[in-house]
Chains A and B, each alone.
Chain A
Amino acid sequence: MSIDPTRATAAQMADALASGETTSVALTRAALERIAATDGDAEGGIHAFLHVDAEGALAQAEASDARRAAGAPLSPLDGVPVAVKDVLATTGLPTTCGSKMLEGWVPPYDATVVARLKAAGLPILGKTNMDEFAMGSSTEHSAYGPTRNPWDTTRIPGGSGGGSAAAVAAFQAPLALGTDTGGSIRQPGAVTGTVGVKPTYGAVSRYGLVAMANSLDQVGPVTRTVMDSALLQELIGGHDPLDSTSVVEPLPSLVEAAQQGATGDLTGLKVGVITELGGDGYQAGVRARFTEALDKLVAAGAEVVEVSCPSFVHALAAYYLVMPCEASSNLARFDAMRYGIRVMPESNDSPSAEAVMRATRDAGFGDEVKRRIILGTYALSSGYYDAYYGTAQKVRTLIQRDFDAAFESVDVLVSPTAPTTAFKLGEKLDDPLAMYLNDLATIPANLAGVPGMSLPAGLAEEDGLPVGFQILAPQLADDRLYRVGAALEAALEKEWGGPLLDQAPEVATLTSTEGALR
């Protein structure tokens, strides 16, 4: 059996490499050709990548093939190419975070997850587009132009990790890394028909991740199948002495959990449907696919009950206080002195460092970043601190208690990942609050540090666009996501006759008259 070098899953690619049917160079070259043919630029194409490293990726692929030929030890994904979100530090490759502030910055060190990818022999194809400093739900806040959804290039690919999700959905890469602070892995996964996992807080190192909100940020896998996510999370996860918030105890085997789930038997599993994350405000097609997915879980032997998490109604407000407070503090590091751009103020012959800082931060940051810095500065100011930041932290406690109580009676919690399918580019760009509402269902997991997965549940009949199904588990029980996710994926793919992405329209290639510079 021969595999398609771009459409195969990462697990299939790994098998084909092991059997000698293909080489890492062949797979990497196929991915690079696909990127060249479909990615375009800010004006047209998918625009999932900000930087493509063909030379570096092919060199890594050759090294992997050479190790294999020599019989050297190999990782389970050795030779399978991967894309990395541009918020993760990579030596030798620009890391801009989608911001003008870091235009051209090449980090002097690798993020731990990047170092682990390299050590495991995965060729890094390039860096993917994102909302500036991971702030947004559409990738439209990238200073380098938006990414387009492979299902419909007039629509958003989600955000902030729209580039990673679109690259995987458009078969430019079998695997990608994302980061999730309020849903930036899961919501792009939902709207592009891909699988995205936010691991337990601390289960994957954040060293070398340019921080937005330290108590919420988490690195995780973006893939086309549940098994591929399990393989990738196992590879990047585990304790890292360089990240003091990294979890020391190992997680249960995620790959075994996915294998177990793929048998389709969920007998004895209790699933809780979160009352507060559904119903009104959720698009009809999203609700329909969600309900059908629940039926599949029941058919697999699971018991489905409704669970109320009353404090979740305050999660969005708490998040949009905690996150800007942490972000305003984190982004103070962009001071035009040690890295990034430096902009000299006009009409000043000998400006002070502070004047340079102010001019640089005005020129270097986009609107959404400025909004959040100012909002955070406001909420942290004396007189408002207790009412805003203090209250938000207490609400965080209530949300954790809701999760604790729910997980006493059920094994996993479920909800739609996002209230709607992909909206049109530009539709919510000047209405920040409407944009924030997209994160309604994903935010509680970040506030509580629990793991969450989004996987495709089908297409909404009203617009033919992908719907995401979210699974949440207790801290350190990431394996439950993979067991339930793999079981649901198997049941749904049986009904669809294959992966959901088989139903996606062919991505226009830029050499065709239709696709080029539309």
Chain B
Amino acid sequence: MPDITRDEVAHLAALSRIDLSDAELDHMAPQLSVILDAVASITGVVGDDVPATSHPLPLTNVFREDVVTPGLTAEQALSGAPEVEEQRFAVPRILEEEA
């Protein structure tokens, strides 16, 4: 498997919404290459005939009765928010135009 380059790590960090500093990128890229090299050992060890397991229990369609149960109050739901306005989560601007 190919090494993971510094540029790729920067791209992945952007996809993951993490601002990595140059120092972090320098440090992390070689570490990730070592880890990837180790885990890449499994590519090709199983054939197409083996089904995938995503979950240890054979559970499907777990339903409950459709009854109303108490939920959090607005105050509780907002209690951990960094910023609150008029009983809502206040967020930074979400559109791209400059303010």
Q: Which residues of A contact B (CB under 8 A)?
A: 105-109, 201-202, 215, 241, 244-245, 247, 314, 316-318, 320-321, 328, 332, 335-342, 345, 349-359, 361-362, 365, 367, 370-371, 373-375, 377-378, 381, 387-388, 390-398, 400, 432-433, 436, 447-450, 475
Contacts and interface: CB of A to CB of B under 8 A. Distances in A.
Contacts of A109: 72, 76
Given A342-B82, A358-B19, 11 more contacts: A318-B42, A353-B92, A353-B94, A357-B17, A362-B18, A362-B24, A374-B13, A392-B42, A397-B46, A398-B46, A432-B35
Contact of B45 (A314, A353, A365, A381): A314
Interface in B5-57: 8-9, 12-21, 24, 27-28, 31-32, 34-36, 38-46, 50-57
Contact of A365 (B8, B9, B18, B42): B18
Nearest to A450: B56
Given A371-B28, A397-B50, A354 B57 contact: no
A337 B82 contact: yes
B99 interface: yes
B86 interface: no
B59 interface: yes
Contact of B42 (A245, A356, A357, A391): A391
A215 B62 CA distance: 15
A350 B42 contact: no
B46 to A, nearest CB: 4
Nearest to B21: A362
Contact of B53 (A247, A367, A400, A475): A400
A450 B56 CA distance: 8
Contact of A245 (B12, B28, B38, B55): B55
B91 interface: yes
A391 B45 contact: yes
Interface string B75-89: 011011111000001
B95 to A, nearest CB: 8
| Chain B residues touching A, majority SS | loop
Contacts of B44: 391
Contacts of A354: 17
Q: Which of B8, B16, B32, B72 has the most CB of A within 10 A?
A: B16
Nearest to B9: A374
11 contacts: A202-B56, A215-B54, A241-B64, A244-B62, A314-B41, A320-B35, A340-B80, A355-B92, A356-B92, A358-B18, A475-B57
A378 B53 contact: no
Contact of A361 (B18, B28, B81, B89): B18
Contacts of B15: 377, 381
B46 A395 contact: yes
Contacts of A377: 12, 15-16
Nearest to A401: B50
B82 A358 contact: no
Contacts of A314: 41-42, 45
A349 B41 CA distance: 47
Contacts of B57: 201-202, 245, 247, 449, 475
Contact of B54 (A336, A345, A393): A393
B50 A338 contact: no
A244 B98 CA distance: 44
A107 B53 contact: no
Contacts of B27: 367
Contacts of B52: 390, 393-394, 396-397
Contacts of B45: 314, 391, 395
B16 A328 contact: yes
A375 B18 contact: no
B19 A359 contact: yes
A299 to B, nearest CB: 34
B3 to A, nearest CB: 12
B93 A352 contact: yes
Contacts of B95: 352
A105 B46 contact: no
Contacts of A247: 57
In the A-B complex, the 7 residue pairs with the closest CB atoms: A449-B56, A339-B80, A342-B82, A350-B99, A393-B52, A108-B76, A362-B19
A449 B18 CA distance: 32
Nearest to A244: B62
Contacts of A328: 16
B66 interface: no
A109 B21 CA distance: 36
A361 B80 contact: no
A43 to B, nearest CB: 25
A360 to B, nearest CB: 9
Task: Specify which of A105, A361, A394, A447 lies most central, judged by the most chain B CB atoms within 10 Å of its CB.
Answer: A394
Contacts of B39: 317, 320-321, 388
A352 B92 contact: yes
A450 B47 CA distance: 25
A34 to B, nearest CB: 32
A373 B80 contact: no
B42 A321 contact: yes
A350 B93 contact: yes
Interface centre among A317, A365, A390, A398 (most CB of B within 10 A): A317
Contacts of A387: 43
